[in-house]
């Protein structure tokens, strides 16, 4: 089983992760992880924090001469803006953030104790985890890519930049829509045997765990609810050259909780960022009196960055499912089992 834990706060000393369950024999290049971290920090509409932090990973365990040795992989990203103990109190919770819910749950009288961990800054170390999973999936010609489809309802680069600039001037924020395409996944990952093993459920949980994601769909998704079954389901064909194949992919690559051999297609919807330059009404958690919400340093828009985080989360799930099906001890043995399986289902 592949699993990970992360730790660290937005303005704490560092972010760290332990990724356990990788097989031995996988070459892990730090440069590839750093490249994914840089992608997460890019995108029009990012805030000042991206100019402060230049995320680089330090691999502190789990490798010998650049190759995995099946022990836990430890990774660390230092925060240059290490100032958690000197930051001002946050006593006017922001609507849309974890400020108030976290303070109520854990008994804080300063929302900073909640927002520091709830912050999307934590996703940087998740991207490092996902980058390692991408390296593993590449050994099997499986790729995970994302693309922003719309921001604030706009789709062209010019219109997107214009509306982000408008939001910045208004001291407002924007959300949007992005898709994820997972290519090269063989039929047979996931399972319908138990609910928690269904591949679509596992991917949905992973993507929905990203701050700001409010909805997602697979394949045709929401539109399919308004159509006849004959317009939705993907007819099955067979030829000696192609084997089983489809002419459409309305299912988004998953049927019955199991991958069917087509690309897995996910579309995710991100709400506008909760911190507003012109804050909404709130209440002081100490005074209980009306007061504008707190203003914290934040992005105007982070849809493209969220897509990179979603790639990482999907890569983790697919890597976990691959190891679940083909073994988890050594890369050489997994590849052998993978090739044998592909040969069997192609006959």
Give, as one character, the DSSP assignment of residue 195: G
Per-residue pLDDT at 48: 62
* β strands within the chain, DSSP E: 3-7, 14-20, 24-27, 58-61, 63-64, 67-69, 73-78, 143-151, 176-183, 213-218, 236-239, 243-246, 254-255, 258-259, 264-270, 281-283, 290-292
H or E stretch including 13? none
Would you say residue 51 has pLDDT above 90? no
pTM for this entry: 0.96
Within 8 A by CB and 6+ apart from 189, the residues are: 199, 258, 259, 318, 321, 322, 324, 325
How high is the pLDDT of residue 53?
A: 65
Sketch out the chain's domains with CATH numbers: 3-345 (3.60.150.10)
Query: Read out DSSP for 206-275?
Result: HHHTSTTEEEEEETTGGGGGGS-HHHHS--EEEETTTEEEES--TTTTEETTEE-SSPEEEEEEEPPPS-
pLDDT number for residue 184: 98
- Mean pLDDT for the stretch of residues 139-150: 98
- Residue 185 clears pLDDT 60, i.e. is over it: yes
pLDDT over 60 at 49, yes or no: no
Instruction: Give Cβ neighbours of residue 29 (< 8 Å, ≥ 6 apart).
Output: 66, 135
Place of tokens 């330090």: 58
Residue 346 confidence class, pLDDT cut points 50, 70, 90:
confident
Write out the H or E segment, with its range, that includes residue 326. Answer: helix 303-326
Q: Is 193 exposed, middle or buried (0-12, 13-18, 19+ CB in 10 A)?
A: exposed
Which pLDDT tens digit goes with each residue over 291-317?
Answer: 999 998 889 999 999 999 999 999 999
Average pLDDT of the chain, as a whole number: 96
pLDDT band, very low/low/confident/very high, at 52 (cuts 50, 70, 90)? low
Q: What is the mean pLDDT of residues 28-54?
A: 86
- pLDDT of residue 135 exceeding 70: yes
Across 91-135, the runs of DSSP E, i.e. the strands, are none
Q: Are strands 281-283 and 24-27 parallel, antiparallel or unpaired?
A: unpaired
Give the pLDDT score at 298: 84
What mean pLDDT is predicted for residues 279-300?
Answer: 95
Q: Which residue reads 């001037």 in tokens?
A: 169
pLDDT at 50 over 60: no
């Amino acid at each position: 089983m592949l699993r990970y834990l992360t730790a660290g706060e937005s303005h704490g000393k560092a972010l760290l992760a332990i990724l356990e369950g990788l097989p031995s024999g996988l070459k892990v290049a730090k440069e590839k992880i750093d490249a994914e971290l840089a992608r997460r920090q890019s995108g029009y509409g990012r805030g000042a924090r991206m100019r402060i932090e230049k995320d680089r990973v330090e691999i502190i365990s789990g490798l010998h001469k650049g190759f995995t040795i099946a022990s836990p992989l430890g990774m660390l990203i230092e925060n240059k803006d290490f100032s958690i103990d000197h930051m001002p109190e946050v006593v006017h919770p922001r609507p849309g953030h974890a400020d108030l819910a976290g303070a109520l749950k854990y008994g804080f009288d300063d929302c900073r104790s909640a927002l520091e961990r709830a912050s999307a800054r934590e996703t940087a170390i998740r991207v490092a985890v996902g980058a390692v999973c991408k390296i593993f999936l590449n050994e099997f010609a499986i790729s995970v890519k994302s693309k922003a489809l719309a921001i604030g309802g706009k789709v062209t680069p010019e219109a997107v930049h214009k509306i982000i600039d408008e939001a910045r001037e208004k001291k407002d924020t924007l959300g949007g829509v992005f898709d994820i395409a997972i290519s090269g996944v063989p039929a047979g990952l996931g399972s319908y045997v138990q609910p928690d093993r269904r591949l679509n459920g596992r991917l949905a949980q992973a993507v929905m765990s990203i701050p700001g994601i409010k909805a997602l769909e697979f394949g045709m998704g929401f539109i399919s609810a308004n159509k006849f079954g004959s317009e939705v389901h993907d007819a099955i064909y067979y030829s000696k050259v192609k084997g089983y194949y489809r002419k459409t992919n309305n299912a988004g690559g998953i049927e019955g909780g199991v991958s069917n051999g087509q690309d897995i297609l996910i579309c995710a919807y991100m709400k506008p960022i909760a911190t507003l330059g012109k804050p909404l009404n709130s209440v002081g958690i100490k005074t209980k009196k009306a007061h504008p919400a707190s203003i914290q340093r934040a992005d105007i828009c982070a849809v493209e960055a969220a897509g990179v985080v979603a790639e990482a989360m999907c890569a983790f799930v697919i890597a976990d499912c691959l190891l679940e099906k083909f073994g988890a001890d050594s890369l050489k043995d997994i590849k052998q089992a993978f090739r044998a399986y592909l040969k069997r289902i192609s006959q």
